[in-house]
Amino acid sequence: MTETQERDLAAIHRPVLLEDCVRLVTGGLKATAGRDRRDVHPTIVDCTLGLAGHATAFLKAAPEARLVGIDRDAEALGLATERMRREGLADRFIPVHAAFDEFTEALDEHGIGRVDAAFMDLGLSSLQIDETDRGFSYSHDAPLDMRMDISQPLTAERVLAEYDERSLTRIFRTYGEEKFSRQIAHEIVMRRTESPLTTSAELNALVDEVVPKAHRPAGNPAKRVFQALRIEVNGELDKLARTLPQIALRLRGHGRIVVESYHSLEDKTVKTFMNDGLVADVPPNMPVVPPEARPFFRELTRGAIKADEEEIASNPRSASVRLRAVELVRPIPRRFIERYETASTSDRQYGERN
């Protein structure tokens, strides 16, 4: 990687709430290090490695730690690995090409049991936003691809060509919170018999025609439709819901989960999951809470941390961020394990032994 490429890499990847993320991810490592353990080094997992902006900061702040970096985008993983080499951090870095809901398999593959902290920066990486050949952005004309992992078969073009009107309406309404979901879906189905949508410019033009000017949100009226398609193509919300229990069940005592969300549905998924461990599992007005029903998470952020005006001004992508974090304060109870049926057999065994 040349110096020019390195500067370009830094320019397109501007980590959001970096200082807060570093504090939350690395701040509990001393507590976990004091426990009886086989691992010599604390282990951090960056489940959404991207271009390693957060990950390099974690390793620099915690020189005794190692980091597992997971990313489903092979291009981003390669660039991040080269960045680690250039930063002199490669000996403490383990790259893994996988989706983050393969969390358990990724750890098992490398013989890693417990971890001390796990981090997720949800949504698109800067590389994907700024690349123009996958159709993620409504600002550039490109094929309607939107795959974070180009080896998967489902693309945005296929969704628009093959899903029925009811399914398209559900996607736009649920994932994009688009008021004109039904009208947009109907127009797509009507037109595709003669001229299927294949580029971002064509989709932009269709939405522009359908959404009345008096009811448009600020910015491009197609923004929500593009967001909805990206979430559908990559299965982001389902993967998130499957991943969070896997992480919890592999945490060491006092281990932490730190998550940055940029979409209301992502944040709702994270908040709901964390709240499950922040409240006592007892009927209202119960005078004494038995030990097995006490909360097993401790909240570290008192709700969600948001970007301040200064950060939003310097990095507009931070405007919608919500940062939440919890710490594991006691063993995961069996009720939690049973509630999340998507957890693997390996995860259940870890939870029972915790």
Instruction: Please report, in range form, the residues annotated as the binding site for S-adenosyl-L-methionine.
Output: 52-54, 71, 100, 121, 128
| Per-residue pLDDT, 33 | 64
| Per-residue pLDDT, 134 | 52
In the chain, which stretches have pLDDT less than 50? 1-12, 126-130, 342-354
Identify the domain boundary among 180, 208, 234.
234
Considering only CA atoms, which of 218, 303, 309 is closest in space to residue 261?
A: 303
Together in a domain, 83 and 118? yes
Q: Could you give the count of Cα atoms lying within 13 Å of 13 in the half-sphere of its Cβ?
A: 23
| Residue 144, domain CATH | 1.10.150.170
Together in a domain, 11 and 37? yes
| Per-residue pLDDT, 110 | 96
Considering only CA atoms, which of 307, 246, 266 is closest in space to residue 118?
A: 246
Q: Which residues of 80-103 are buried (b: 16+ CB within 10 A; e: fewer)?
A: bbbbbeeeebeebbbbbbbbbbbb
Pairing status of strand 115-121 against strand 297-299? unpaired
| Per-residue pLDDT, 332 | 86
Crossing angle between the packed helical segments 181-192 and 200-210, to the nearest 10 degrees: 120
Together in a domain, 281 and 347? yes
Instruction: Please report, in range form, the residues annotated as the binding site.
Output: 52-54, 71, 100, 121, 128
| Per-residue pLDDT, 217 | 73
Identify the domain boundary among 182, 213, 234.
234
Identify the domain boundary among 202, 234, 266.
234
How big is the chain by its Cα radius of gyration, in Å? 21
Q: CB-based burial of residue 335 (10 Å sphere; 0-12 exposed, 13-18 middle, 19+ buried)?
A: exposed
Cβ-based neighbours of 55, under 8 Å, separated by 6 or more:
44, 46, 49, 67, 69, 80, 84, 93
Together in a domain, 123 and 157? no
| Residue 271, domain CATH | 3.40.50.150
Give the mean pLDDT of the chain. Answer: 86
Examine residue 143 and state whether it is found in any structural domain, yes or no: yes
How confident is the model over 155-200, as pLDDT tens digits? Answer: 999 999 999 999 999 999 999 999 999 999 999 999 999 999 999 9
Look at the chain and report how many structural domains it folds into. Answer: 2
Together in a domain, 150 and 13? no
Together in a domain, 162 and 200? yes
Examine residue 134 and state whether it is found in any structural domain, yes or no: no
Together in a domain, 228 and 303? no
Distance, CA of 182 to CA of 163 (rounded, Å): 13
| Per-residue pLDDT, 350 | 39
Together in a domain, 189 and 285? no
Residues 241 and 247 sit within 8 Å (Cβ to Cβ): no
Examine residue 132 and state whether it is found in any structural domain, yes or no: no
Together in a domain, 218 and 249? no
| Per-residue pLDDT, 36 | 52
Examine residue 133 and state whether it is found in any structural domain, yes or no: no
Together in a domain, 113 and 242? yes
Together in a domain, 225 and 169? yes
Q: What is the pTM of this model?
A: 0.82
Together in a domain, 163 and 287? no
Residue range of the domain that includes 262: 3-127+236-353
